[in-house]
Structure 1
Amino acid sequence: MKRAIYFLMVIVLTTGCRKYVEIDQIGNRVLKYTKDYRALLDNSSVLEGGFGLPIYSNDDTRFMDTTRQVAMIDINRNAYSWQAQYWSDTQSDVDWEKLYKAIYVCNEATDGVMASENGTDALKKQLYAEALVHRAYAYWCLVNIYAKQYDSTTAASDLGVPLLLTPDLYASLKRASVATVYNQITSDLLAAVNDLPALPDYNTRPSKAAVYALLARTYLCKRDFSNARTYADQALSLQSGLLNLPTYVGNTAAIPYRLADPEVIFSKINTYGYTGIQLDTALLNLLGTKDARYTLFVKPGGNFYPTFVGYGYWRYKYSQEGNYFCQGPSVPEMMLIKAECAARADDAATAIGILNTLRQQRFAAADYADLATGTAADALKSVVAERRREFFGTGLRWIDQKRYNKDAALQVTVTRTLNHQDYTLTPNSNRYVFPIGTKYILLNPEIEQNP
């Protein structure tokens, strides 16, 4: 059954419409040849997207400039203060819509690529596998934003997200359990790995390294630290390049664009342009002024437009990054996953050794000193701190905060003031689960709202 590419824009979760026209449209290419599916899966404007709004919710961000607070749009303000609902009955959730649009495109590919014309079996299998990986990433984002943190004792009953595996516009939109969504993520990734190259032609395309990296992320969120470490090791065996950041301090023009960055395993970016993200003072204190991540990626608010009092995240300003923050798995992330898993296995020496290897590439030699090996508990806290230094500004901290709620020693209570009113986010609060936009529930009543 042929569907015009034009109709890929029809997304059931964003429009509520379950109708499509099954005729070829004049001027629109139908998905017929294998090369059509190659082009479909190379559409980075759809498939490279990750998430955006958690950048406002996480504790790396803190708008202390009252002018910026007043100027904040309502959706961002609601996410920043962890409100019960972020959107009006008619407003759209950009993250939700773009992730499900990516899933729909992936489902179109898995539904039709194997029967496409003029392509080798090997290429068809590779494209099928690529669609599975992109879909797995989208569901990883969705389940970590709109569902409770994975807990082996409750995951089978906790509400996940609607799990759509075909382009059927009549499919049920009832929310699958958290366990079911996680199982789908891992099964998609494992099904894909054998038909992918070890490394991609472009890091926007999935590869074996990307599969292993996403499996490491997924098992880390499931607290299956043994598997997380295994897959982080496998990813690093294929890709292990690190940038020596101090070498760019006097030559920022040489900082590579994310598509040429040897640290990026699988390029994914936030779904919306965020400029002038003000950084929390606790994060700035953690970084210190000698860390090249501070020197390069933190700038006074006067460098941004509009200007503000304080300091903001600058990384995306280099090398044509635009307003997009890289959120895909990377070499440093795999190192930090491996270090965290070692610390949790009571192997402080290995954990600290990995941290020191990474940190040597983040400080000039004159400013660098090895971290001392202490207890495993100390090593775990060092890993947590290093993850915050490495990923600030990207929104990944929100997912870390959420999963650390399962560790009493790592829980944090976050407080902030917005327009003269105080807000507090306590560990394991329901506010760690993003609400689902009212618009989608009104259009599709079978979607159950979060508590």
Structure 2
Amino acid sequence: MRTFKPRYIHCLVLFAVLAPQLSCKKEFLEIVPKGQQIATMTKDYRQILNTNYLTQSNASVYMGDELAALQPFINEHTLRAQRLFKYAERIYEADQLPEEMSSEEGYIRRLYVFNKIINEVMDSQGGTEMEKKAILAEAKAGRAICNFLFLTDFSTPYNPATAATELGIPGLTKADVTLTDFKRQTKQESYEQIISDLTDAIPDLGPLEHRRKISRLAAHFYLARIYMAMQNFDAAKQQLDEAIAEIPKSTIPLALYDYNKVLDPDADETWFPLLLGLFLVGSPQPAENTQTIYNIQVYAVSYVGGNANAFLLSPATIALFDPQDKRPNMFDPLEFNGSATFPLGMRHPIGFGTPVGPSLPDLYLMRAECRARANDLAGAVSDVELLRAQRTGAPAVPPAAAASKETLVRYILDERIREFAFTGLRWLDMRRLSVDPVYHDHVRYAHEVRSIEDVNSDGVAGDVVETHELDPKRFALKFGERMLRESKGLEENP
């Protein structure tokens, strides 16, 4: 999907507001000198909040089980991407900081700004009490979302039986760059802090009025996502119902796109043509995407040259789509800038960035899963078919899939793969399913590297030449030696 990166605008605004506190050194939390005041007026805090964009780490994209890799192109990609795909124990070298933490868009810098706002905005000047509370609420919700993304990368999946003793993430609530103690909370404490922030924020959040502003709808959505990660599907369903009740209150358009039209090259409303193999000319910008509730994006793979051919939808994923489904048109079956077709029907994504924040498709599929798990099969089918009517010429859930709770849940999980392939959202599902007593086998615990050559001389290209098993310990990235050296009390993942 055609998008643009806000990074450069973002950097200019942050430097204008926060300068000159960014240091040339790249230590764990080195952002502003001690005692440096960054704002005094309420409007200053609003400006800072409006530029503190959240992005999802692209690590989750490379690790999703809907992907395969293709030789020789994977060998030309970045070492980090190769290691993530291969579920390697080491992602970074000993002298490197994880980019998920230390980059401009990393969790630590985002948390610093959210904490600065939370701790200071109520004492700011020039704003009403209502304005200050609204800014505080958005910052608390932003901190919660950021911490959940942090947990997704650096802690293993939540297991109710062990969460009270397993490690979560550091509970960072102060905007102090001199802080040196980064002892990790338990996983239970980390999740409880996230739930507390979102719950506290909701009363002072407003309706959806901008896709870069956290609304009540977005907060209810994220509470549901948290509860689903915790296997509390009843609580998640309650939040999803609250979220859906917020949809009519939106002051901007919220609606599903009809992929039967916008992904049909021959339809009047089509997003095609495909420009240089890079993006669909007519597809909406993030701020105008009517399916998006809150715009969080992931910038996953390079779409230039051979790197665009390195990671593809696997043959098993391609097999999940029926012939009338239009979603495969979001992916290109041809090699980048070439006429050769990928073997076994594999495809690579079109576009530079993918919206992965709260969205209407995710909202309906999350509620469908919660309904199915509660044995409300008719309600679950209704939610799935609401989405599928906009995706395929065969929207009905097959009778065999709707016959029982378990078959329907599995069908919905497959529908999530069809809808969210190559976004990183499958990795979130893999994490929670890996500890699910019933659906843990709905995860493929291995990645395949296939060859574009006919390596076995059997007349068919795409043979498997490498297999990389997913050790459950790799659900959490390692912090690495340098980060441990610079962060007192931080414990490494196994």
Q: Do Structure 1 and Structure 2 share a fold, with TM-score over 0.5? A: yes
Counterpart code for 1:204 = R
CA pair 307-211 structure 1, distance change in 2 beyond 3 A: farther
**What aligned pairs does 1:389-404 form with structure 2 within 5 A after superposition?**
389-404=418-433
- Contact map agreement 2:333 2:348 (CA 8 A) in 1: no
User: Residue 77 of structure 1 aligns with which residue?
Assistant: 82
User: Residue 93 of structure 1 aligns with which residue?
Assistant: 98
CA RMSD, 1 decimal: 2.5
**TM-score relative to the length of structure 2:** 0.81
The offset of 1:395, in angstroms, is 0.7
Rounded Cα–Cα distance in structure 1 between residues aligned with 2:55 and 2:139: 14
The offset of 1:233, in angstroms, is 1.2
- Contact map agreement 2:28 2:487 (CA 8 A) in 1: no
**What aligned pairs does 1:178-327 form with structure 2 within 5 A after superposition?**
178-200=187-209, 202-239=210-247, 241-248=255-262, 249-250=264-265, 251-252=270-271, 253-270=281-298, 274-275=302-303, 276=308, 277-295=311-329, 297-303=330-336, 309=342, 311-315=346-350, 317=351, 323-327=352-356
Aligned: 1:145 with 2:153: yes
User: Residue 475 of structure 2 aligns with which residue?
Assistant: 432
Which has the bigger relative contact order, CA under 8 A and spacing at least 6? 2
Counterpart code for 1:416 = H
* Range 206-215 or range 76-85, more displaced: 76-85
Counterpart code for 2:19 = Y
User: Residue 3 of structure 2 aligns with which residue?
Assistant: none
Rounded Cα–Cα distance in structure 2 between residues aligned with 1:70 and 1:31: 47
- Contact map agreement 2:224 2:236 (CA 8 A) in 1: yes
- Contact map agreement 1:48 1:204 (CA 8 A) in 2: no
- Contact map agreement 1:164 1:171 (CA 8 A) in 2: no
Rounded Cα–Cα distance in structure 2 between residues aligned with 1:138 and 1:13: 20
- Contact map agreement 1:274 1:324 (CA 8 A) in 2: no
Deviations 1:407-443 (A, max 9, x none): 34442343334595432125xx212222223321121
CA pair 363-70 structure 1, distance change in 2 beyond 3 A: same
User: Residue 341 of structure 1 aligns with which residue?
Assistant: 370
**What aligned pairs does 1:3-22 form with structure 2 within 5 A after superposition?**
5-6=18-19, 9=22, 14-15=27-28, 17=30, 20-22=33-35
User: Residue 61 of structure 1 aligns with which residue?
Assistant: 67
CA pair 148-15 structure 1, distance change in 2 beyond 3 A: closer
CA pair 353-410 structure 1, distance change in 2 beyond 3 A: farther
Q: Secondary structure at the match of 1:180?
A: helix
User: Residue 251 of structure 2 aligns with which residue?
Assistant: none
Counterpart code for 1:270 = V
* Range 77-86 or range 412-421, more displaced: 412-421
CA pair 272-413 structure 1, distance change in 2 beyond 3 A: closer
Q: Secondary structure at the match of 1:179?
A: helix
User: Residue 175 of structure 1 aligns with which residue?
Assistant: 184
CA pair 123-192 structure 1, distance change in 2 beyond 3 A: same
The offset of 1:40, in angstroms, is 0.6
The offset of 1:21, in angstroms, is 4.8
- Contact map agreement 1:67 1:308 (CA 8 A) in 2: no
Return the structure number with greater helix share: 1
Unaligned segments of structure 1, at least 5 residues: 25-29, 318-322
Rounded Cα–Cα distance in structure 2 between residues aligned with 1:190 and 1:353: 29
Deviations 1:180-239 (A, max 9, x none): 111111110111111111213x11110100110001101111111111011111111122
Deviations 1:17-67 (A, max 9, x none): 59825357xxxxx41211111111111xx4231211121111122112x12
- Contact map agreement 1:269 1:325 (CA 8 A) in 2: yes
Deviations 1:125-159 (A, max 9, x none): 11111111111111111112211211111111110
Deviations 1:335-372 (A, max 9, x none): 111111111112222212211111111013xx444432
Rounded Cα–Cα distance in structure 2 between residues aligned with 1:15 and 1:358: 43
Rounded Cα–Cα distance in structure 2 between residues aligned with 1:304 and 1:107: 46
Rounded Cα–Cα distance in structure 2 between residues aligned with 1:48 and 1:23: 24
* Range 136-145 or range 241-250, more displaced: 241-250
* Range 184-193 or range 248-257, more displaced: 248-257
Deviations 1:288-334 (A, max 9, x none): 34211112x1112424699984544435x2xxxxx222110111111
Rounded Cα–Cα distance in structure 1 between residues aligned with 2:23 and 2:221: 31
CA pair 417-294 structure 1, distance change in 2 beyond 3 A: closer
Q: Secondary structure at the match of 1:102?
A: helix
Deviations 1:254-286 (A, max 9, x none): 432221122111111125664334211111111
Rounded Cα–Cα distance in structure 1 between residues aligned with 2:24 and 2:369: 39
Q: Secondary structure at the match of 1:15?
A: coil
- Contact map agreement 1:174 1:446 (CA 8 A) in 2: yes
CA pair 245-35 structure 1, distance change in 2 beyond 3 A: same
The offset of 1:10, in angstroms, is 6.0
Rounded Cα–Cα distance in structure 1 between residues aligned with 2:337 and 2:373: 40
Rounded Cα–Cα distance in structure 1 between residues aligned with 2:144 and 2:22: 20
**TM-score relative to the length of structure 1:** 0.88
Rounded Cα–Cα distance in structure 2 between residues aligned with 1:153 and 1:12: 41
User: Residue 320 of structure 1 aligns with which residue?
Assistant: none
- Contact map agreement 2:65 2:444 (CA 8 A) in 1: no
Rounded Cα–Cα distance in structure 2 between residues aligned with 1:154 and 1:70: 39
Rounded Cα–Cα distance in structure 1 between residues aligned with 2:421 and 2:404: 26
Q: How many residues of Structure 1 are paired with residues of Structure 2 in the alignment?
A: 429
Aligned: 1:33 with 2:33: no
